Chains A and B, each alone.
Chain A
Amino acid sequence: MHGASRRSLLRFGGAAIALAFTTNLADPWTARASIRGDYPFQLGVASGDPLPDRVILWTRLAVRPLEPLGGLPYNKIKVDWEIAEDEAFTRRAGHGSAWARPEYGHAVHVDATGLRPGREYFYRFRAGTEISPVGRTKTAPAPGSSPDALRLAFASCALWQDGFYTAYRHLADENPDVVLHLGDYVYEYGILPTGGARRTAVPEQFRVQCDTLDRFRVQYGLYKSDPDLQAAHQRAPWIVTWDDHEVLDNWAGRHGPGGEVTEQDYLVIRANAFRAYWENLPLRVPAVTGPDARLHRRFTFGDLAEINVLDTRQYRDDQVCGDGQQTGCAERLDPARQMLGAEQEKWLLDGLGASRARWNVLAQQIAMMQLDFDPGPAQRLSMDLWDGYKAAKDRVLQGMLDRQVRNPVVLTGDIHYNLAGELKADFDDPASRTVGVEFVGTSISSGGNGNAGTGLPPGGSDPVNPHLRFSSYQRGYVSCEVTRDQWRTDYKVIPYVDRPGAPVSTRASLVTLDGAPGLQAL
């Protein structure tokens, strides 16, 4: 609102008709308090953040998921839950009731405790007379135990209007022990009436970009209505972190899009985005109450694996040299610049130093290995990736060397590309020490069908980025089998996303061995 309208508003605001108190509108307080008729579990069920004795159970009630309150009254609604060792719910392990509250978009987060470690469980919800689908979940192994194997899958980048979520369906079919989602779970963009590549009608409220909480809520309502995404949540516990598009493209710490969006505007958007993210995902973190929310946290799977879930957006300094890909940007080397922020960086390195796990995982957003985009002798690097924060990257890699961290494995999303590479102490010196490995997973749908004809075959050699061992530009997800002797990664790809039903295949399988950082193609 600018000068002219502000003056007229003030004048108008002083008139009695401008600010009338009225009683002739339906008061949501007096609307119906219980569910009638319409099915309220249209957004499915989910579980997440598994610990040895507990897991978060999630649902969000909605009878019309594309409306801000999900077609429900502005009332709290009672939801019953139960969890059992068997799918028929004859061996019940826990049950209770929770409120679905309108100020949280009728989301329910239950921390189901008292569970046994390393076990499969089944759960469901009830609201009124309606019963939710049954979800499968699994607790983490006992502390100090020595599990033989962990099967995990990871995924990222699911722009709804770029295609169908077939890859999520194939991921669900693997029944992994845990799913890591590395961000861009939703995109903030407005959606056209024709629904992009899905060619599915999308109503008017989706035209504008997400900014307010009600707008973010309907975006999640659309995304989470997808049956393939629901299947992926229903079949395994998820551990999630956000990237940029849960808020705004390439946001960085306290730096938003700039221009006419002030920092205060941006922080309002960020608070709304964080709140909607919290409402819609099975997280064990406090409910979001503003523009700051801690998301980084740690999960331990016996002595086999420890997963450090990072937030590389909230505490970073702004991208330098105008963002994008740049050649010869000296500011990227500034040792004062932060990617994780000082507190999270210390938390990460302290945790890695104290870890007793065989495989030490960083579940995070952006490529850590150096990626030179210039085919010639010049070095063109992305200012949004770890390359744009070179000193912060070196502190993490050197920190792992200093602490003799066993088998670092970095898992990454963001760039819609499958990449596997070795993390080097000095990426410009191929003879330097290999610190660990990085697996970058492609997008679920972002970018459309992709191209099976490009990329580096597994075990191949890239002259510009010699630490890179594999790449492909196809849609899909990544499946990992973690055992005591080796970590095996299978890159699962699908040939198209512009129509449903694509088959899945394995584009590449790579292995890294315990105690021998590096990648081998199978």
Chain B
Amino acid sequence: MRHLAAALAVAAVTVLAGPAAGAAATGNEPPAPTTKPSSGSTTPGPGSKGVTPIAGTDRLVAPLGVDPACPARMEIGMRGETGRARFADLFVDVDPPLGVSRSMLSSYLPPGHDVGAKLLVAVPPDTPEGTYDLRLRASRRTLTVPVEVVALDRLDNGGNHALRRPVTASSQHTNANYPPCSVVDGDPGSNSWAGGNGWNDATARAWPDTLAIDLGGPKQVSRVDLYTLDTERYPASRVGLRDWDVQTGLAGQWRTVAQVRGNTAGSVRSDFPAVSADAVRIVALASNGANDYTRVIEVEVR
């Protein structure tokens, strides 16, 4: 039976396109191992031979003091050197006191494809700013990715005042991972819905639902972009947010600066005369479709 909220789950594995996605290959590789369950006494090594560790970024910025439900994340993966399918292993570790969400990545590795997965990097609150090494190891090769730990106020937010700021929501669905802080994680894509990249409230058919972002002090604000769930299988016109008010707050006083009604698109830009605000609040009033949950992927404030 389809669960209303979790039916929207989209898994986080991504198969990366072609050799261009990977790190540079080096040298000649030994032949791929045989992994028959009843094979003899030789033990395969950690991971499979002929597998190269790869990463989705050459460095990772990890802000200090953010909600631990939304840690810094990146893609890690493996690329097979040969044209045959196999199951393969990648081992992950990071300099303390940082932590990683997985100590290894094991996956089917189809021929001609690379397999990646999300890696979360946790930064304890008292971590000194600086650069820490993240290591990815497969087939006795290690790829090192620097992790730069920076204070939130020194984070380059590209003009988006909401990025990585504290978020409070009226409720949170508990069927999967829908943290409110994920609406300010800088990822407006609907991928990995239910896997930590979007907020789903807990009150079906009950309105309004609210989502408030603390901007960390007064800012001049004239534009809010809201991204609701929108994929091919789960289009915004069927499961996305339909009606909402955009409010700005200053010293606890809220005012409505824009209204959106009848939306069927994946994202909506609301422009309004510039105001000084230390917070922005989305007041959700209705969704498309019968499920009637609020599903928000990202909110950007400029």
- Taking a contact as CB atoms closer than 8 A, the residue among B21, B37, B103 that contacts A67 in the complex is B103
From B22-30, B250-258, B270-278, the one touching the partner chain is B22-30
- Restricting to B90-116, which residues have a CB under 8 Å from any CB of A? 91, 93, 99, 101-110, 113, 115-116
Q: Are B101 and A204 in contact (CB-based, < 8 A)?
A: yes
Q: Whose C-beta in chain A lies nearest to the C-beta of B113?
A: A264
Q: Is the CB of A211 within 8 A of B13?
A: yes
B13 close to A212 (CB less than 8 A): yes
Tell me the minimal C-beta distance from B102 to chain A in angstroms: 6
Binds A, one of B124-132, B152-160, B186-194, B213-221: B186-194
List, sorted by A's number, 15 A–B pairs whose CB atoms are closer than 8 Å: A1-B16, A6-B21, A9-B54, A21-B142, A29-B43, A69-B104, A188-B9, A190-B177, A208-B101, A208-B192, A249-B7, A261-B11, A262-B15, A266-B11, A291-B108
Interface size band for B: 35 or more
Residues of A within 8 A of B31 (CB): none
The total of chain A residues at the interface (CB under 8 A) is 78
Query: Judging by beta carbons under 8 Å apart, are B143 and A19 in contact?
Result: yes
Residues of chain B with a CB closer than 8 A to A261's CB: 10-11, 13, 191
CA distance A21 to B137 in the complex (A): 9
| 3 nearest A-B pairs in the assembled complex, by CB-CB distance | A259-B231, A12-B58, A13-B23
A208–B179 Cα distance when bound, in Å, is 11
- A28 to B91 Cα, complex, angstroms: 10
Question: How near does chain A come to B205, taking the closest CB pair, in angstroms?
Answer: 17
The answer on a CB contact under 8 Å between B108 and A213 is yes
A-binding residues in B (CB < 8 A):
1-3, 6-7, 9-16, 20-24, 26, 35, 37, 43-46, 52, 54-58, 69, 75, 77, 85, 87, 89, 91, 93, 99, 101-110, 113, 115-118, 120, 122, 135, 137, 140-144, 174-177, 189-192, 194-196, 231-234
B46 touches A209 (CB 8 A): no
Chain B, residue nearest A384 (CB):
B2
Give chain B residues whose Cβ lies under 8 Å from the Cβ of A414.
Answer: 1
Cβ-defined contact, B118 with A208, below 8 A: yes
Extra 6 A-B pairs, beta carbons < 8 Å, given A190-B196, A265-B15 = A21-B141, A161-B175, A189-B6, A208-B177, A209-B12, A290-B108
Instruction: Establish whether residues B108 and A271, one from each chain, have CB atoms under 8 Å apart when the complex forms.
Output: yes
Minimal Cβ-Cβ distance residue in B for A256: B11
Q: For chain A, residues 252 to 285, give those with C-beta under 8 angstroms from any C-beta of chain B.
A: 257-262, 264-269, 271-272, 275
Determine whether A336 belongs to the interface, using a CB cutoff of 8 Å to chain B: no
Given A211-B12, A249-B7, A272-B107, the answer on whether A76 and B43 have CB atoms closer than 8 Å is: yes
- Residues from chain A with a CB closer than 8 A to the CB of B196 are 190, 207-208
**Chain A residues whose CB sits within 8 angstroms of the CB of B102 once the complex forms:** 68, 205, 212, 214-215
| Chain A proximity of B232: nearest CB distance (Å) | 5
Minimal beta-carbon separation of B7 from chain A (angstroms): 5
Residues of B within 8 A of A452 (CB): none
**Closest approach, in angstroms, between the C-beta of B177 and any C-beta of chain A?**
4
Q: Which residues of A contact B232 (CB under 8 A)?
A: 258-259
Q: Which of A22, A29, A196 contacts B174 (CB 8 A)?
A: A196
Q: Does A248 contact B (CB under 8 A)?
A: yes
Residues of B within 8 A of A269 (CB): 11, 13
By a CB distance below 8 angstroms, the chain A residues around B85 are 289-290
Given A192-B174, A416-B1, are A267 and B110 neighbors across the interface (CB < 8 Å)?
Answer: yes
Given known A1-B56, A12-B58, A204-B122, contact A212–B10 (CB-CB < 8 A): no
Chain A, 132-160, contact with B by CB distance < 8 Å: what is the 0/1 string? 00000000000000000000000000000
Interface residues of A in 1-49 (CB under 8 A from B): 1, 5-6, 8-14, 17-22, 25, 27-29
> In the docked arrangement, what's the CA distance between A23 and B240, Å?
51
B46 touches A28 (CB 8 A): yes
A103 interface contact, C-beta 8 A: yes
Residue from B45, B54, B116, B231 within 8 A of A258 (CB atoms):
B231
Please name the residue on chain B nearest to A12 by beta carbon: B58
Question: Does B1 lie within 8 Å of A9, measured CB to CB?
Answer: no
